[in-house]
């Protein structure tokens, strides 16, 4: 793959290659395996669309029995103030006997995950933890407690490995950052 891609006249430079991503995912999986082995029923919930590739790589590195599910959220107008989200694809609510791990691609402001966690709590799972491939702590100021973070990055716009620019670029095996 080339060291740069152009999408919608914007140039992106390679930032994290597939090999590095594989190591990052393996390290998250190792920590999750340690924390959840023998813990009982576990459900991993992936927030679509961006986390679909991360989720599929992650679950193939987990060594304890678990179920998976997917949710898709859309923000209402004024999400910043209300933190309300519309569930385009919702979770089955019978999670009261399960430990839930929420799988997110990247945490930027943290508003999406925060809104989802509020709703998830009303379903009363045994426990909730958050796992994110990437996090931009300078943006969310660590307001969100992320239990398993792959890598902290500066507040730059990235694409690839599931992340898009207006629907494009999700298929790229490497992650690219916007040329500024
Ligand atoms: P947040 O609610 O934490 O601000 O961001 C939530 C979602 O915005 C992420 O799940 C992701 O889909 C998208 N997002 C955040 N940062 C980036 C980025 O750098 N690149 C892309 N393509 N999407 C991002």
Show the tokens assigned to 108.
Answer: 């930027």
Please give the order of strands across the beta sheet that includes 175-178.
4-7, 10-16, 175-178, 158-159
Ligand 1: distance of its center to the CA of 39 in Å? 31
Query: For the chain, how are helix, strand and coil distributed in percent, rounded to 5?
Result: 25, 35, 40
pLDDT digits (tens, 9 = 90+) for 38-59: 999 999 999 999 999 999 999 9
Pocket test for ligand 1, best of 75, 102, 106 (most atoms within 8 A of CB): 106
Distances, alpha carbon 60 to alpha carbons 2, 65, 71, 143, 159, in Å:
27, 11, 19, 30, 23
Q: Which neighbouring-strand residues pair with 108?
A: none
Give the pLDDT of residue 76.
53
Distance in angstroms (rounded) separating the CA atoms of residues 164 and 5: 12
Q: Count the neighbouring beta carbons within 10 Å of the beta carbon of residue 26.
A: 13
Radius of gyration from C-alpha coordinates of the chain: 16
Give the pLDDT of residue 81.
43
Measuring from each residue's beta carbon to the nearest atom of ligand 1, which residues come in under 6 Å? 50, 104-112, 157-159, 163-164
pLDDT over 70 at 180, yes or no: yes
Which entry of 27, 108, 147, 164 is annotated as an active-site residue? Answer: 108
Asked about 108 being catalytic, the answer comes back as yes
Give the pLDDT of residue 80.
42
In this prediction, residues 64-83 reach a mean pLDDT of 72
Ligand 1: distance of its center to the CA of 66 in Å? 26
Class of domain 17-155: alpha beta
Angle at 117 between CA 146 and CA 64, to 5 degrees: 65
pLDDT digits (tens, 9 = 90+) for 122-136: 999 999 999 999 999
Q: Ligand 1: which residue has its CA nearest to atom 6?
A: 112
Identify the burial level of 53 via C-beta atoms within 10 angstroms of its C-beta, where 0-12 means exposed, 13-18 middle and 19 or more buried. buried
pLDDT over 60 at 145, yes or no: yes
């Amino acid at each position: 793959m080339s060291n740069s891609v152009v999408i919608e006249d914007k140039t992106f430079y390679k930032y994290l290659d597939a090999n590095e991503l594989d190591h990052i995912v393996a390290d998250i999986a190792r920590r999750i395996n340690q924390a959840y082995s023998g813990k009982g029923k576990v459900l991993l919930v992936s927030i679509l669309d961006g986390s679909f590739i991360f989720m599929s790589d992650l679950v193939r590195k987990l060594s304890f029995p678990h179920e998976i599910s997917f949710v898709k959220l859309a923000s209402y107008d004024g999400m910043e103030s209300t933190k309300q989200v519309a569930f385009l694809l919702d979770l089955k609510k019978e999670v009261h006997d399960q430990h839930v791990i929420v799988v997110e691609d990247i945490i930027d402001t943290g508003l999406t995950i925060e809104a989802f966690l509020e709703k998830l709590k009303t379903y009363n799972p045994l426990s909730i933890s958050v796992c994110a491939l990437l996090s931009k702590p300078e943006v969310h100021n660590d307001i969100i407690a992320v239990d398993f973070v792959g890598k902290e990055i500066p507040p730059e716009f990235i694409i690839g490995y599931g992340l898009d620019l207006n629907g494009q670029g999700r298929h790229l095996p490497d992650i690219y950052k916007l040329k500024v």
